[in-house]
Amino acid sequence: MNAHECPREPEVFDAIASGAWLTDRHGVLRTHAASCAICADLATVAATIAEARTQSLGSVVVPSAAATWWRAQLRIRRDAIDAVNAPIRMAQWVAAVGVAVAIVMLILRNWASVAAADPAIGWGLLLPLAVAAATISIATPLALCFVMSSD
């Protein structure tokens, strides 16, 4: 037998794990643990762990099975809705970018004829107008996407 093992060690551990150690029913094991250094160490450590477990079980509030099932159903439903909305959200982003590009292209394409028709407008107004149109055409769909996704 190894000097670091005791044949009664499993009995001591089982008694502590089952809570029978605290009763007087295992007085024989307590007497043995008082005379055996290995079992005394085991009893000290295992009793501390068992006491901590008992204390933590008293403070734990376990939700009911119905509440747990209901939360799981909500999570499943929310995940399914997110999965369905993902392509729609992507389409909204693509549409927003497409609208922005179309507006900028429309302004750039027609600006020469507008400037030729009214020389007072000139080319100097093109850049601020293009920036304003691009900002509005990008910011509006982005704001709508943000508001709609926060539901």
CB 26 within 8 A of CB 15: yes
Rounded to a whole number of angstroms, the minimum distance from the CB of residue 9 to Zn ion is 6
In the set 15, 16, 29, 36, which binds Zn ion (CB under 5 A)?
Answer: 36
Return d(Cα 13, Cα 33) in angstroms, integer. Answer: 11
What's the gap between Cα 21 and its chain centre?
A: 42
Q: Is 8 in the site for Zn ion (CB under 5 A)?
A: yes
Cα separation, 116 vs 126, whole angstroms: 13
Stretch that binds Zn ion, among 5-13, 51-59, 75-83, 92-100 (CB under 5 A): 5-13
Taking the complex as a whole, the smallest distance from the CB of residue 52 to Zn ion amounts, in Å, to 23
Q: How many CA atoms lie within 13 A of 126 on its CB side?
A: 17
| Residue 15 CB contacts under 8 Å (≥ 6 apart), including other chains | 21, 26, 29
Q: Which CB sits closer to Zn ion, 32 or 96? A: 32
Count the site residues for Zn ion by CB under 5 A: 4
- Of 38 and 133, the one with the shorter C-beta distance to Zn ion is 38
**Secondary structure percentages of the chain, helix, strand, coil, to 5:** 85, 0, 15
46 binds Zn ion (CB under 5 A): no
| Whether the Cβ atoms of residue 36 and residue 6 lie closer than 8 Å to each other | yes
Q: Closest separation between CB of residue 48 and Zn ion, Å?
A: 18
- Write down the residue that tokens 């450590």 correspond to: 45
Does 6 help bind Zn ion (rule: CB under 5 A)? yes
Q: According to CB under 5 A, which one of 39, 46, 96, 100 is a site residue for Zn ion?
A: 39
Choices 4-12, 80-88, 106-114, 135-143; region in contact with Zn ion by CB under 5 A:
4-12
Binding site residues, Zn ion, CB under 5 A: 6, 8, 36, 39
